[in-house]
Structures are given as C-alpha cells and as structure tokens.
Amino acid sequence: MNWELIFGQIKWTSFVFAGMIENPSLSEAIASGAGSIAVLGALGTVVMLTVKGWWVPLWRDWLTSVDHKKVGIMYIVLALVMFARAVIEAALMRAQQLAATDGGGFLSADHFGQLFSTHGTIMIFFVAMPFITGLMNYVMPLQIGARDVSFPLLNAISLMLTMAGAVLIMVSLVVGQFSTGGWSAYPPFTGIDFSPGEGVDYWIWAVSLGSIGSTLTGLNFAVTIYKKRCPGMSLFRMPLFTWTTLCTSILMIFAMAPLTAATVMLALDRYAGFHFFTNGDGGNMMNYANLFWLFGHPEVYILILPAFGVWSEVVATYSSKRIYGYTSLVYATMCIAVLSFAVWLHHFFTMGQSANVNAIFGIATMIIGVPTGVKVYDWLLTMVGGRIRLTTAMLFHINFLLTFILGGMTGVLLANPGIDFQVHNTLFLVAHFHNMIIPGVLFGMFAAVQFWFPKAFGFRLHEGLGRASFWCFAPGFLLAFFPLYWLGMMGATRRTFTWSNPDYLPWFALAMLGAALILAGFAFMVAQIVVSVRRRAELAAPLGDPWDGRALEWSIPSPPPAWNFAVLPQVTARDAFYEAKKDGTAYRSPAAYEDIEVPRNTATAPLIGLFACAWAFGLVWHIWWLVIVSFVLLWAVVIARSFATETEEIVPAATVKAVNEAFLAAVRATPGVTRDQEMTAANRGRAIPESLESSTGAFAARAAVEVTR
C-alpha cells in the first residue's frame, strides 16, 4: 500500500496523541487533552443527535435552510462555540506567563506559539466575524421590512464556507499542528523555509475560506439594503443598525480582497516555489504587510461598526428616547468607513518608511477618532433626560463607553510614530487592541444577544444571570488587560512565553485573575441560556415587543414566521413602529392578504461547504486525490444547482392570514406592560409606548393603546 498516495503527509506522528506517547510532558498532556475534548465532543454530538432523533430536523430545518434568520442563528452558534475554545486558550496563555519566570511554566515555546496564533485567528475570523455577520443576517432584513436577503442561497453558502474554515482549525487540534506565526502570519517566518510543516497551510486555507465567505456576504447585504427596503423607507429613515450594516458590507467587499490575495500569494510561495514574499529572488515581505493591513485596519471597523449600530439601538430603547443626532451618526459612520482605508500603515511605523510618510498616516489615524467621538457624545446625549433602565444590555453599553474611551486615548498615543517606536511589539499594543475590540465588539455582541434574543426565540433571557455575567466580564476585562499597558511600558514583549524580570509577576497575576473572571462570565452566559430555555414559559414574549422597540422588527411575532411580514409595511417616518404605536395604527389587520414566495430549502450550500473543507484539508496534507475529487464535486454541485428551476415555494394567502390574525388576536387579548414591568412574567411582548405611559399614566396609556383593537 502506498501510504503517501492515500494519506499524503499524514503519519502516525501527525496525531496529537503521538506527542504524549513519545515525549510525555505537561505541555503534551494539555495538547492531547484538547484533542481528546474535540474528538469526544464530536462523538458526543453525533450520539446525542442519534439518540434524540435530531438528524432529520437538523438537516431539514437548519443545514439546508436559506432563511436569513436561521442562517444568522447558525452564524452566532458557530461564534459561541469557537469563543469557548478561544477564551480557554487565552486563560492558558495567561497562566503560562504567570508561571514562566526564568524558564518556568508548563507550555513549550512551540505550544505557546500555536496558542496565540489560534487565539487571534479564531477571535477575529471565527468569533467576531461570524457574530457580527449572524447578527446582521438576522436583524437587517427585518429592520428594512424585507422578506429575506437578495441572494438567500449565496447567504447560506457564505455560512458554510465560514464553517468549513472553522472546522479546519478545530481539526488542527487532533491532526497536525497549527501555525506559530500569529494571526497576521508574517512572512518570511511563515514561508516554506522557516515553517515547513502543515501549520501555516491550516491558517492559509481556513482564513481564505472565511475571507471568501465574508466577501460574498458583503455583496449580498449591500444589494439587499439598496434593493429590498420596504415602501417609504428612504435611506434616512433606516435604523442606525442598518446604516452600520450597509457601511460594513461595503468594507467587506473592498477589504477582504487584499486578504484573499495575500493568502493566495503566500500559498503560491509555499506550494509552487513562487517568490512574492521570500527573502530573495525578488520577493518582498513588505508587500505582504501592506496587503494584510490594507485588509487589517478596515477589518477593525468591519467588526466595530455593527456594534456601534447595536449601541445606537440599545441606548435609544433603554433610555426611552429617540436617538440623539441621527444624521450626525450616519455621517460619522460613513466617515469612519472611508477613513478606515487611509490608516493601514500605522501598523508598521517601524518598518522603514520615511518620517514624512509616518507623519501623514499618524495624522490620519488621529483624525479617524473624531467621528468616533461624535458617536460617543450622541450616545451620551441620548441618555440625558431619558428614562434609563439598567438592563444587562444597558450595563454593557455604559461599561463600553467608559472603557472604549480609554482605549481610544491609547490609540491616539500610538498614532504618534515616536511613541509607537517606544512601545512597538510590546504588551502595550496587546492591551490597546483588546481595549478596543472587547468593549467595542464583544460587549456589543453580548448586548445584542440580550436585546434581540426574545425576537429570535420568543422568550427573554434570565436577567439575573445576565447581570452576573456582566459583573464578571466588566472587572475581568479591566484586570486582564489594563496591567498589560504597564507591562508594555516596562518592556515586556508580546508573544513571549518566558520571562526573567520578577517585577512582571504582580501584573501577570492580576491579568490571570482577570482571565479567570472572564471565564466565569462566559460560564454565567452559558448558564443564562440553559436556565432561560428551561423557564421559557415564564419568560415568554411571543407578541414581539418586550422592550418598547422602535424599528420594524418589533412589530411582528417572536419568533417571526418564515415570510417575516404578512404584508410589506409602509413606512412614513423614522422609528416607524414606535410612531405607529403612538398614533394607534400598529397591529391593524391588512385589507387583503396575498400568496408569498419564499425560497425552498436546498442541500447545495452544505455540500459546497463540505467539499470546500475536504479540498482545503487535502491541500494542507498534500492528499492530491482528495483535492481533485472534492474540487470536481464542488463544481458539480454548483453546475447541478444551475439546472434547478423550482427554487421557490408558495405560502398560500390563507395560511398567511391565519397566522397573522392569530397573532393580532393574541395582541388584542393581552394587556400592555409598562417599563417597570419589563422584567416580570407579565411581559408577554406587548409594550405600552413610553410616551403614552409617562404622559397619561399607565391605565390611560393602556386604554389608548387598545384603540387599535
């Protein structure tokens, strides 16, 4: 048997368990344990699906679905699964650094290098990106009054390509090793001469698949917002979350292309002997640095702009006020999107440019803080004079304001090339980056889950456990990352697994305590979801509007039907649903119902994802027959789909009417709740508008709302 022909470069020693058998150590034991957890987790999932009989529903209702809502939920589930791995890796790194004085610690240098590489890659490409993409998928079509995105199948394919990339990274826990080149994978270290193993190839193909999926998503969302808005919804009547989705989509279209080009060129260097980024023969690694950061800095805003949209929705809703400075927030968003392409060089001030070039990019970096500052003031002024409810989502928002401003101030410091030279490649940079991304993106996504979870599933999340999660995450973040500023100024370099300076120890101890609190916060978040599912009858809010919402997504049942809206809404103002509640036109029966076309489920997307994953795995391990077969099968699926003619199905008007009239009858039969009753079992999702409640009292407000019966 020709082993290499069948299995490529996979050998017995390629499996993670071989290292523990041949060279037993604590580091190898941890690696083997992680691989065992991955294998047992996969087997446990298979057993559970089989025992529960869930294979058919999983395939029929989820994996083959092209409904934007289900696609969005699957994105978010993927992000949470990958987040669990990433946060455990972060805790391991902090524990290693705490124990690493004078060559101590429990991880080998190579293992530590893999940890910071997988942690960064996962958090950026397979936690933050799927999280914001899933959220935009779910919310944006509902906010613009659409039945789905413009290209539902393309949407599902984007998801499956992202999943394929995530699977590759999870497989690297068991078969082979991951890259040690960091999330940015700078050559020449990641070239074939310095990294001849499979690790960099895992990084290349995982990131490439995710990048292609994100590019397709950007195209899809931009077209959807331009073409699918309901009648009357002009651009300046769109909710701010939709505005940030639009700008993010444009960034995705233009920013992901340089990343894809860079990864393909690096692959050609490694596989075909090209010299794009090598040390000799005409190669220049600075070309890679420019391509990567031409993606990398817009990527920061790809992640953070949707979170800015979340904060705008959250602060207006939980302050019971119209958002302050809507127009300025829109223009600030567009300014940030444009300027994000003009600052990439600040990521390598120290790499040989002239002082004049560095100064230009430093000034541009400072300028981009201005529109962000406008947003902060608008959010603060929205809260002024509002009836603020300190829900879990609002607590995350207030914490974001405090910590994000501090992170922005350190960003202005780093925009000065002279200061950047002093703290370059130190933990100061790690602290700054996390100081922006965790409060700005991660806390934004956590707030979004608290805010829109009732819309997606028809019941609220347990508020007490949500607050417990917040009170772990907030101080945990401060303790985990603020000591790194001081360590950076003391000269502690990043990506270093051992130390000789004992003065670092107290600060690493604080950082370890912070990491433990973050782990506890994640545990409380999981507990919150589990408890909420068990108490879903008590927390039920099926009528769709538990928070006195303002945009169109709150006007329909929770969870929404497959067609979203029984009749496409007619918009006459910003905050359309809130205005309809005030003037008594919400919850009216349509004059007539019509048949609705919805896309059929299809196996096309999961098959493309499966074959893309197999193709990439074959490339990683040089299993050329698998590369050829999976590539042919992938395009066979695409060609077969092109012959499909029955891609839509009709939902009869009678079905639409029955569902919608039952919803309206339930609304009419349910008393409205005040903001003081928001977290009680009385909140079934029918809110009394704040303006009516505060002006005439709760009883009169309820009477006024019931005019709509």
Residue 103 has pLDDT above 80, yes or no: no
CA distance 230 to 194: 55
**Signed CA dihedral, 146, 150, 151, 156: sign only:** negative
- Percent of the chain at pLDDT > 70 equals 98
The structural domains of the chain, ordered by start, are 64-554+598-602 (1.20.210.10)
User: So what's the pLDDT on residue 100?
Assistant: 87
Position 706 confidence tier, pLDDT thresholds 50, 70, 90: very low
User: So what's the pLDDT on residue 695?
Assistant: 53
CA distance 265 to 468: 47
What value, to the nearest 5°, has the Cα angle with vertex 341 and ends 340 and 345?
A: 100
CA distance 392 to 524: 13
Torsion of CA 302, 306, 308, 313, to 10 degrees: 170
Residue 588 has pLDDT above 50, yes or no: yes
Calculate the alpha carbon distances from 447 to 180, 260, 312, 525, 674 in Å: 33, 31, 11, 12, 22
Q: Which amino acid is at 353?
A: Q
CB count in 10 Å sphere of residue 697: 12
User: So what's the pLDDT on residue 1?
Assistant: 61
3-state secondary structure of 67: coil
Of 445, 448, 501, 480, the closest CA to residue 103 belongs to 501
Q: Are 167 and 618 in contact (CB under 8 A)?
A: no
CA distance 447 to 427: 28
- Please list, in sequence order, all residues whose beta carbon lies within 8 angstroms of the beta carbon of residue 146, skipping any fewer than 6 positions away: 224, 228, 229, 230, 564
The DSSP line for 563-588 is: TS-SS-----SSSHHHHHHHHT-TTP
Q: Are 336 and 305 in contact (CB under 8 A)?
A: yes
Encode pLDDT of 649-704 as tens digits: 999 999 999 999 999 999 999 999 998 899 999 999 999 887 777 554 443 444 34
DSSP one-letter code for 185: T
Model pTM score: 0.95
Encode pLDDT of 125-163 as tens digits: 999 999 999 999 999 999 999 999 999 999 999 999 999
